[in-house]
Structures are given as C-alpha cells and as structure tokens.
C-alpha cells in the first residue's frame, strides 16, 4: 500500500462546494469511497465569492478528518484555478429555482454558468476529464457544458440520474421486503425531471437465491405501472416538502455510485442509469440530447445497453420525456449565442 499511496494524485473538482450536497459528498470522496482507498487526491472546491468564508470552514473540517489519501484541498472562486488539469469534475453548483421564477429564466441563468464552466473545462482541464453534471436542469446543463467544450469528447460528459435509479431500486425492494442490493437493472429513461420514466420491465429481483422479474416479485402490476412510477418521479419534491430542503444525503450517495462506476466499471450483465449523449443510440431517442439510458461501463467508457425490447407503454413514456428535453435544449441553445 505504501508504494501505491505514492502514486500520482488525481485532481477532482466539486463545484457548489459550500452547499449542502457537497457537504454530504466531500467526506466520501476524500476517504476513498469513489476513486479508491489507495488513490491519492487533490480536491478543488469552487464556489461563488460570497461563499468563500463558508468554504474555509469546509476546508478546515476536511483537514480535521485527517484522511490518508487527501493530499491537498484548494478552495477558490476562480475557474482558471478550479479547472486546471482535472481528472474528474462534479458540477453540483447551479442557479436554483426561486419562487415565481419562469423556467425560461432559470434556463437562461444556468446556460450562462454551464457555458462558462464548459469553456473552462475546454481551456484548463485534461482532455480525458470525466464530467458529471448534478446541478439542475441537469440534462440540459450537461449538454451546454459539453457543447462549450468542443475539444473534450462528448462521451466524457454525463448527468446524474443515479438518484432516481436508486430510488426506483429501493421502492421495489421495500415493496418486496428485501434489501435494495438484490434489485438489479431498473432503468431511468430521459430527463431528470418529473417526466422521467422509471422502467422495471427489464429488472431482475433475487428472491431466495433465484432471479425473477420485478413483475413476478412484486405481484402488483397496477402499482408498478402507476404509483411506483409517480413516487419515483415526484420523490425529490416529496423530500423538499418534508425537509424544507432538497435531497442532499441521497444525492451525494448517488454521485458516489455514479462516479465510482465510471472509474471501476459495472458488474457483468448489470447496468445502471446515467444521462449520456444520445447521438447514435439504438432506441430511437432524438439525437443531440443528454438523455438517461441503461449503460454498462468498462475501462471508464460507457455503452448503452442494446437489444432491450420496448413495449408500447414504455415507448409512450420515453417519447414524452424526449419531447420535454428537445424543448429544453432548443430554448437553452437559443441563449448560447447571447
């Protein structure tokens, strides 16, 4: 281990680093849950200037955790420092929706942020950087960042739908009275919004050592095609209603799952959900979107799982979320030139 710990540290950026998701996320990254227990790290923490005093407190706490792989923590409000030579970027910071704010205005504010961060990735980061966009509207923010970083392959960009994926697994597991880790291959299709389609038609549930379909395990088709879907779609809003704050602990866990799977790959015959570039996909989803698909990952490269049979029920829901994403993209792209 001593030899490995002298390995070259990787540089990992978290934006919105003084916020509540980052507060739940940074410890997990810094102790090795994501990139490996023996992979040294330099953490770069970006936030807006008024948040720098808060960020100093976060830095103190990270230092006080006395973690063996954390080589350096660099808090900053400057993109040229934050994005330099990055191996991984987790873009959590975005403009939140304020009361009375039109969706169009929200998109416009976020286009400005993610255009700027995309350009910074293009200019300062490694060309091999893996970029995960979390800040909402995540799919469209991710697309804008990718379009603003033409020298970085589009495949290096993804957005977070793993939280929705984990929510779907957990709902099925709870319904069956089993643990969530024996529920495999649920799919989140489309947008990280309430139009997303949580699909269990290809899901496998291990019941008493035997793999069965979710429909056979749950034995309640009406629930799986009704309340299950709406519960997953609306879960974020339900958490906000209860906590008066958005999901942070569960979002941070999903970010860790997503990034760890990129870094170390997915298990044989298993797939997970992430928002990726849709061009060339085998499911008839419009091109030039960031759309959530079932993917498998090997050697830090994702592939959309092919050959899944899509029934009419699923097709309609996949198309509905596509329609929303196309509209969101077109509105956002119209602001790009501004």
Q: Is 77 annotated as a binding residue?
A: no
- What's the pTM value of the predicted model, to 2 decimals? 0.96
Q: Is 11 annotated as a binding residue?
A: no
Considering the domain architecture, whether residues 152 and 165 belong to the same structural domain is answered as no
Let me know if 192 is a catalytic residue. yes
Q: Is 190 annotated as a binding residue?
A: no
Considering the domain architecture, whether residues 145 and 79 belong to the same structural domain is answered as yes
* Structure tokens, 206: 């291990």
pLDDT of residue 94: 95
For residue 48, tell me if it sits in a domain: yes
Considering the domain architecture, whether residues 211 and 131 belong to the same structural domain is answered as no
Q: Is 167 annotated as a binding residue?
A: yes
- 3-state SS string for 44-102: EEECCHHHHHHHHHHHHHHHHCCCCCEEEEEEECCHHHHCCCCCEEEECCCCCCCCCCC
Residue 254, classed as helix, strand or coil, is: helix
Considering the domain architecture, whether residues 63 and 153 belong to the same structural domain is answered as yes
For residue 1, tell me if it sits in a domain: no
Q: What is the mean pLDDT of residues 269-274?
A: 97
Q: Is 206 annotated as a binding residue?
A: no
Considering the domain architecture, whether residues 19 and 84 belong to the same structural domain is answered as yes
Instruction: Give the integer Cα–Cα distance in Å for 326 and 286.
Output: 8
Q: Is 260 annotated as a binding residue?
A: no
Average pLDDT of the chain is 96
Percent over 70 (pLDDT), the chain: 98
Which of 159, 188, 209 is where one domain is finished? 159
For residue 100, tell me if it sits in a domain: yes
Considering the domain architecture, whether residues 306 and 248 belong to the same structural domain is answered as yes
Instruction: Give the integer Cα–Cα distance in Å for 320 and 314.
Output: 10
| 194 pLDDT more than 50 | yes
Domain interval for residue 144: 10-159
For residue 2, tell me if it sits in a domain: no
pLDDT of residue 134: 98
210 burial type by CB count under 10 A (0-12 exposed, 13-18 middle, 19+ buried):
exposed
Considering the domain architecture, whether residues 125 and 170 belong to the same structural domain is answered as no
Active-site residue, selected from the candidate residues 165, 192, 202, 258: 192
Q: Is 6 annotated as a binding residue?
A: no
Considering the domain architecture, whether residues 279 and 192 belong to the same structural domain is answered as yes
pLDDT band at 338 (very low <50, low <70, confident <90, very high): low
| 6 pLDDT more than 70 | no
Nearest of 129, 5, 17 to residue 67 by alpha carbon: 5
Q: What is the mean pLDDT of residues 109-123?
A: 97
Considering the domain architecture, whether residues 279 and 137 belong to the same structural domain is answered as no
For residue 93, tell me if it sits in a domain: yes
Nearest of 23, 35, 10 to residue 65 by alpha carbon: 23
| 98 pLDDT more than 80 | no
Distances (CA, A) of 68 to 104, 128, 277: 45, 26, 36
For residue 336, tell me if it sits in a domain: no
Domain CATH number, residue 62: 3.40.50.720
Distances (CA, A) of 301 to 238, 241, 265: 34, 37, 8
For residue 5, tell me if it sits in a domain: no
| 3 pLDDT more than 60 | no
Considering the domain architecture, whether residues 154 and 210 belong to the same structural domain is answered as no
For residue 236, tell me if it sits in a domain: yes
Considering the domain architecture, whether residues 125 and 255 belong to the same structural domain is answered as no
Q: Is 134 annotated as a binding residue?
A: yes
* Tally of domains within the chain: 2
Q: What is the mean pLDDT of residues 64-89?
A: 98
Which of 109, 133, 159 is where one domain is finished? 159
pLDDT band at 251 (very low <50, low <70, confident <90, very high): very high
- DSSP-assigned letters across all residues of 296-309: EEETTEEEEPP---
Considering the domain architecture, whether residues 221 and 278 belong to the same structural domain is answered as yes
Which of 124, 142, 159 is where one domain is finished? 159
Domain CATH number, residue 301: 3.90.110.10
């Amino acid at each position: 281990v001593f030899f490995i710990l002298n390995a070259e540290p990787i540089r990992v950026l978290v934006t919105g680093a003084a916020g509540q998701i980052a507060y739940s996320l940074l410890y997990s990254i810094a102790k090795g849950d994501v990139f490996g227990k023996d992979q040294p790290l330099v953490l770069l923490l970006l936030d807006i200037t008024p948040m720098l005093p808060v960020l100093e407190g976060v830095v103190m706490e990270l230092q006080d955790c006395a973690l063996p792989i954390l080589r350096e923590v660099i808090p900053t409000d400057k993109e040229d420092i934050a994005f330099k030579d990055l191996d991984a970027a987790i873009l959590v910071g975005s403009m939140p929706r304020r009361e009375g704010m039109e969706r169009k205005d929200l998109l416009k504010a976020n286009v400005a942020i993610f255009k700027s961060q995309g350009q910074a990735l293009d200019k300062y980061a490694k060309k091999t950087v893996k970029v995960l966009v979390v800040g909402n509207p995540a799919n469209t923010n991710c697309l804008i960042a990718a379009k603003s970083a033409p020298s970085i392959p589009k495949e290096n960009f993804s957005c977070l739908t793993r939280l929705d994926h984990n929510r779907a697994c957990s709902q099925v597991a709870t319904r069956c009275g089993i643990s969530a880790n024996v529920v495999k291959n649920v799919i989140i299709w489309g947008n990280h919004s309430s139009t997303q389609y949580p699909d269990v038609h290809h899901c496998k549930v291990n019941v008493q050592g035997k793999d069965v379909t979710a429909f056979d395990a749950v034995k309640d088709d009406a629930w799986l095609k009704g309340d299950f879907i709406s519960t997953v779609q609306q879960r974020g809003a339900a958490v906000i209603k209860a906590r008066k704050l958005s999901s942070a602990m569960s979002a941070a866990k999903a970010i860790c799952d997503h990034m760890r799977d990129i870094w170390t790959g997915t298990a044989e015959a298993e797939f997970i959900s992430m928002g990726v570039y849709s061009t060339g996909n085998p499911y008839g989803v419009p091109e030039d979107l960031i759309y959530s698909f079932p993917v498998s990952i090997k050697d830090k490269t994702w592939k959309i799982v092919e050959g899944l049979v899509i029934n009419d029920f699923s097709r309609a829901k996949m198309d509905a979320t596509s329609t929303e994403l196309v509209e969101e993209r077109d509105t956002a792209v119209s602001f790009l030139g501004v």
